Amino acid sequence: SGKMLSNISSVLRACAQRNGAAAVISARTYADFTTQATFEIKKCDVHKLDEGPATQVVMTRDEGLQYYRTMQLMRRMELKADQLYKQKIIRGFCHLYDGQEACAVGIEAAINQTDHLITAYRAHGYTYTRGGTVKEIMAELTGRRGGIAKGKGGSMHMYCKNFYGGNGIVGAQVPLGAGVALACKYQGNNELCVCLYGDGAANQGQIFETYNMAALWKLPVIFICENNRYGMGTSVERAAASTDYYKRGEFIPGLRLDGMDVLCVREASRFAADHCRSGKGPILMELQTYRYHGHSMSDPGVSYRTREEIQEVRSKSDPISLLKDRMLSNNMASVEELKDIDVEVRKQIEDAAQFATTDPEPPLEELCNHIFHNNPPLEVRGTHPWSKLKSIS
């Protein structure tokens, strides 16, 4: 039977190698897994820096599994949102994050939950990594009471502790983020603020005003341009006279890196966080990433780029596949184990969607609540003199 077993294992091994997963054997116990491995990552392009982040990085098996689960969860959540939108259960603005998962997961792996983060309106992923639950996010998308903003914010306006949203005005979150960083500096608590915007917002005047103040006051802020190449539907080459977004801080040091590789993002974010915490002031990062969906749900996303291009990015640089291949080829996980995670994630998303479609909508009398924090109830003027609305904090 020993010989028989070794035959079976070699057959399995051959199958596994054919499937691109190096030598994964179903009967393997957890003890056999590599607990950590060193990976070679792409070098960052740097601006005004003597040296960039390391190109050799260590990832543990537990970290890998955690990143995999979080990215898979974001991906499935966005695909479910797409489905509910097409069924007209989610309405209005809806900007999906699928394709960009490595950005959020890499950044969060490098900062603390006590640090601060503010982003534009493609915010579902960050709401989750900052501490929101899938249920709360899905219910917010459908405008129900159990939503993270009690159903009043919708897709673009979700918040939780140390997360200042979801902001609907292009570029407006950048000065707000610098304000949060000013508070960090003022309070002297060694915290920092991550301030995200897209390649479309990068041409906004208020961003340059913010760079100036942040540099003058040496604010602990990481400005991050998530460059997903097409703004609202115009390629970066047609929208920006200089597409070197990481150099546009001029007097602020910058990094440009592969935003599809979670380890690249993590390493660069650690480097940037150390820069801020050591009192050197702001730093800029440009993450080269890609969105699989259109700009929003009302953009089919194929008039300014080809379907083939999207397909190619999916097949060659998908952030989830990239991490999965790394883990399998370094014997850090088994195919079955990752499949189990996928199944769990799917169930979690299904449960959340179930909740988001059955939870009641908020009643009209709650419309004006929470205008002020810790305030006695006040009357709110409606659209006509006889509408009596009340706000309870």
| Residues 75-104 as b or e (16 or more Cβ within 10 Å = b) | bbbbebbbebbeeeebeeebbbbbbbbbbb
Q: Over the stretch 252-299, which tens digit does the pLDDT of each residue have?
A: 999 999 999 999 999 999 999 999 999 999 999 999 999 999 999 999
Please tell me the predicted confidence (pLDDT) of residue 388.
84
Q: Over the stretch 53-90, which tens digit does the pLDDT of each residue have?
A: 999 999 999 999 999 999 999 999 999 999 999 999 99
Containing domain of residue 294, as a range?
40-362
- My answer on whether 92 and 108 are in the same domain is yes
How many residues are there in the chain? 393
Residue 24 lies in a domain: no
Kindly report the pTM of this predicted structure.
Answer: 0.91
- My answer on whether 208 and 185 are in the same domain is yes
Residue 328 lies in a domain: yes
The stretch 171-190 carries a mean pLDDT of 98
- My answer on whether 266 and 227 are in the same domain is yes
Residue 243 lies in a domain: yes
Q: Over the stretch 9-63, which tens digit does the pLDDT of each residue have?
A: 554 444 444 444 444 444 456 679 999 999 999 999 999 999 999 999 999 999 9
**Count of structural domains, the chain:** 2
**CATH number of domain containing 119:** 3.40.50.970
Integer Cα distance of 232 and 300 in angstroms: 11
Residue 12 lies in a domain: no
Residue 356 lies in a domain: yes
- My answer on whether 60 and 122 are in the same domain is yes
- My answer on whether 263 and 386 are in the same domain is no
- My answer on whether 302 and 338 are in the same domain is yes
Residue 14 lies in a domain: no
